[in-house]
Amino acid sequence: MHDGQAWIGPGAQTTYEALLEETEALLAPETDWLANLANTAAVLFHTLPDLNWAGFYLHKQGELVLGPFQGKVACVRIPWGRGVCGTAAREKRTQVVRDVHLFPGHIACDEASRSEIVVPIIQGGKVWGVLDLDSPYEGRFSGLDQDYLEKLVEVLHKYIDWRIACGTT
Ligand code: SME
């Protein structure tokens, strides 16, 4: 993979279809939110190519707090609306960032990161957190990643009680 090249094509689609099935099979028998988010982060990180970080931030009392992830240590708390993660949460819209250096307020946890995709986790109209993937390559993420990662979040809704994960019960 090179800078400026998105991971697309039939191979990528097949990989994502298999990943959705694998995630569903992995989560289905389990109801523990921490185990399920931890395994989802591991599946993503070890299945999708050219990532240097994959994980979750959870909405806790008005900010995003680091959840299960794979990759280098990351910043723990992200204010609502700050960085790519905070922007996805505030705008309730997936952010596909071609070059993080051009994103105003980008929070650099790993200086190797060049591109990023952040999908908000929204259920019942509420933002419960975000799914965040980083790549060391510029332009790594495309609409294909967006479509499938949004589908993956739909799968998570079935097996994760976000009120428990976010400590709001
Ligand atoms: N880059 C993110 C912060 C989280 S790390 O990438 C793991 C942001 O700007 O919100």
pLDDT digits 0-9 by tens, 128-141: 999 999 999 999 99
Looking at the chain, the whole-number percentage of residues with pLDDT higher than 70 is: 99
Please tell me the predicted confidence (pLDDT) of residue 109: 86
Please tell me the predicted confidence (pLDDT) of residue 32: 95
Please tell me the predicted confidence (pLDDT) of residue 4: 83
In this predicted structure, the answer to whether residue 120 has a pLDDT above a threshold of 90 is yes
pLDDT digits 0-9 by tens, 8-30: 888 999 999 999 999 999 999 89
Please tell me the predicted confidence (pLDDT) of residue 10: 86
Please tell me the predicted confidence (pLDDT) of residue 29: 87
- Enumerate residues lining ligand 1, CB below 6 A: 53, 74, 78, 83-86, 106-107, 109, 113, 116, 132, 134
Q: Ligand 1 test: best mutation among 59, 75, 82, 113, most atoms within 8 Å of CB?
A: 75
Tell me the domains of the chain and their CATH numbers. 10-165 (3.30.450.40)
Q: Ligand 1 test: best mutation among 80, 91, 134, most atoms within 8 Å of CB?
A: 134
Q: What is the 167 CA–ligand 1 centroid distance (Å)?
A: 22
Q: For the chain, what is the HEC assignment?
A: CCCCCCCCCHHHHHHHHHHHHHHHHHHCCCCCHHHHHHHHHHHHHHHCCCCCEEEEEEEECCEEEEEEEEECCCCCEEECCCHHHHHHHHHCCCEEECCHHHCCCCCCCCCCCCEEEEEEEEECCEEEEEEEEEECCCCCCCHHHHHHHHHHHHHHHHHCCHHHHCCCC
C-beta of residue 99 within 8 angstroms of C-beta of residue 139: yes
